[in-house]
Chain A
Amino acid sequence: MDVYTFLIQLLNGVQYGLLLFLVASGLTLIFGIMGIINLAHGSFYMIGAYMAFSLASLTGNLFVAIVVGVVLSVLLGIVLEWALFSHLYKRDHLEQVLLSYGLILVFEELRSLIAGNDVHGVAVPAVFSGSIPLTDTLSYPVYRLFMSVVCLALAGLLYLLIHRTRLGMMIRAGASNREMVAALGLNINLVYRLVFALGVALAAFAGMLAAPVSSVYPGMGTQVLIICFVVVVIGGIGSIWGALAAALLIGVADTFGKVLVPQAAGVTVYLLMAAILLWRPEGLFKRSG
């Protein structure tokens, strides 16, 4: 493998990792703050991608599609939390797992009904459709670089939100003591609803962003979900840095795995997880509680 191919794969791996981080941070937020494990989180990613596909073909502009899509996913998050997930705060993990499993089934069938089972493509926006040349024959797509930049920016914004704003303070307080926050008069229900909507929006946005690169296809939700689980197990819930590091590790490992050992394509990530579990069952990074 020459330097340029290596560089390309590395960039791909980082880009994939950053995307995973976005999705995983939504999952981590919801579990870390509200204690809810949501298997349907991958479905939000899929919903985002399908929204990008349908809205982009409707409006002809991916950016407009993404903006509209984010708004819609926030609304979806609010409705879901109000209707379903707010019932789960005091319930045990088994019930949360089952309810979100039911939700996956609903989402998958609705998708099948509304958008069919075909694979769809989404066009890269014209402004990013170029490539940066590396050699005579190799070049790197600008859109992928754009994706990485956007993901990093969002990661930074997320950090600022959680650690530097009043809302973030309330969120962190809500994580440790729901009753106390409620007693202080802060509307904990509203905070939870917003956090959930944020989590949904993050996953959906990631799906929208990724659509031109990964295509839009039925199994994409569960695929990303399971990889996100591996990210969370390795990186630890409650640790944004851990999730980032783990996501990058997995993104790079998966990308290089697929290139070096194509027959064992999907398995690299699991082997990595298994190895890390053997060495450090608590995950690579310290959990914050």
Chain B
Amino acid sequence: MGSARGAVNGKAIAIGAALVALLLFPLAGATFYTELVTKVMILAIFALSLDLLVGFTGLVSFGHAAFFGIGAYTLGLMAPKYEAASLWVTLPAALLVAGIAAFVVGLFVVRVKGVYFIMVTLAFAQMFYFVFHDTKFGRGSDGISMNFKPVATIGSYTPFDLANVAHVYFLVLALMVATFVFLRVVLRSPFGRALMGIRSNEHRMRSLGFPVYRYKLASFTLAGTLAGLAGYLSALQFGFVNPELLSWHQSGNVLLMLILGGVGSLFGAVVGAFAFVALAEIFQALTTHWQLLLGAAIILLVIFLPGGLASVAARLKRTLVGEAIDE
């Protein structure tokens, strides 16, 4: 048992160190990097939300970007032209709208089994993409530019300034940590355990008396809501939304983040987001046709490293520490 405790401590130290690094980062880095890491942390929230669905419930969705985009567009559509919106109104609204959308889509798709689930989630995401890309309601392919960032004012007190890069950074960091902790807690709860049971053996869960459909629907809705949170923050950061937020590229990229970090690990989802952005930045610096490199990297990753970076880390640890695997 000593080695297991050692492993737990190792992970705790890694998380702690990462947290400290993130807390100190804006003090050290230039504005550009602070904004970049903010963007990564927003994607980490997005990846965490999908991990709940894919890694812990076993539902592979290729349409998760839809809820990301819906969260973003809620802010974009609510933002008034001539004044700033309130964070305290628009953020809950975005969560609510994304959650309702996820619930409604879930009603249709959750009954669909196996590989069809992947197909219908992609199809529904495309449907939402069309709504924002082609209809007047969605303002079309140019997207929406917001003239003002939301404000966090309550009464006469403004706790932080959302036009300030560092303030946004810390807000996003806090929300990412909150999402992480929230999911950790939920996954330890009876509900979370049931989800993991569904992933492990859905048939047996039904046989044992669990109403599997309801659990899947709840997971789908929760995952969609959290994706909406990420989307909202993205719109907040950039002041701009467009239909590409709902594209299948976005849905594919977030799945990639999961596999990069190791599916079924919350920490892995965060690591995966960082790894993905790092890869994308490197490739973009090399060539305008960077998606070619990304595609090739994905293919190689799947063939040679299906466990993602987590498996590399595990293998490294075994070689370095020389432990036998405890059975």
**A interface residues with partner B (beta carbon < 8 Å):** 31, 37, 39, 84, 87-88, 91, 93-95, 97-99, 101-110, 112-113, 222, 226, 229-230, 232-233, 237, 263-267, 270, 273-274, 277-278, 281-283
Q: How far, in whole Å, are A281 and B263 apart by their CA atoms in the complex? A: 28
Chain A residues with CB below 8 A from B127, complex form: 266-267, 270
Which chain B residues border A282 with CB–CB below 8 Å?
113
Contact residues in A for B299 (Cβ distance below 8 Å)? 84, 99, 102-103, 106
Contact B295 A277 (CB under 8 A): no
**Complex formed: what's the CA distance from A95 to B263 in Å?**
11
Measured in the bound complex, the distance between the Cα atoms of B280 and A54 in whole Å is 32
Kindly provide the distance from the CB of A59 to the nearest chain B CB, expressed in whole angstroms: 29
With an 8 A cutoff between CB atoms, is B28 at the interface? no
Q: How many A-B residue pairs have CB under 8 A?
A: 126
A101: chain B residues within 8 A (beta carbon): 252, 255-256, 295, 298
- Nearest CB of chain B from residue A118's CB, rounded to whole Å: 16
Q: Is the CB of A109 within 8 A of B122?
A: no
Determine the chain A residues whose CB is within 8 A of the CB of B259 once the complex forms. 94-95, 98
Indicate the member of B120, B127, B298, B302 with the most A CB atoms within 10 Å: B302
B104 CB, min distance to chain A CBs, angstroms: 10
Please give me the residue from chain B that is nearest to A95 by CB atom: B302
The SS class assigned to the A binding surface is helix
B255 touches A233 (CB 8 A): no
Chain A residues closer than 8 Å to B302, beta-carbon distance: 88, 91, 95, 98-99, 102
Query: Would you list the 3 A-B pairs with minimal beta carbon distance, nearest first?
Result: A102-B298, A105-B295, A109-B292
Which residues from chain A contact B197 at a C-beta distance below 8 Å?
Answer: none
Q: Are A97 and B289 in contact (CB under 8 A)?
A: no
A102 touching B120 by the CB < 8 A rule? no
- Option from A37, A87, A107, A277 in Cβ contact (under 8 Å) with B112: A277
Complex: chain A residue closest to B135, CB-CB? A263
Whether B143 sits at the interface, judged by CB under 8 Å, is: no
> Quick check: is B109 within 8 A (CB to CB) of the other chain?
yes
The residues of A that contact B111 with a CB separation of less than 8 Å are 277, 281
B108–A105 CB distance below 8 A: no
Chain B stretch 274-290: residues in CB contact (< 8 A) with chain A: 289
Name 12 interchain pairs, CB-CB below 8 A, sorted by A.
A31-B115, A39-B62, A94-B263, A98-B301, A101-B256, A102-B294, A103-B299, A107-B295, A229-B119, A233-B123, A270-B130, A277-B120
CB distance from B12 to the nearest CB of A (A): 28
Q: Write the nearest CB–CB distance from A80 to chain B, whole angstroms.
A: 11
Whether B291 and A108, one on each chain, are in contact in the complex, defined by CB atoms closer than 8 angstroms, is: yes
Distance A37 CA – B116 CA, assembled complex (angstroms): 10
Interface centre among A103, A263, A281 (most CB of B within 10 A): A281
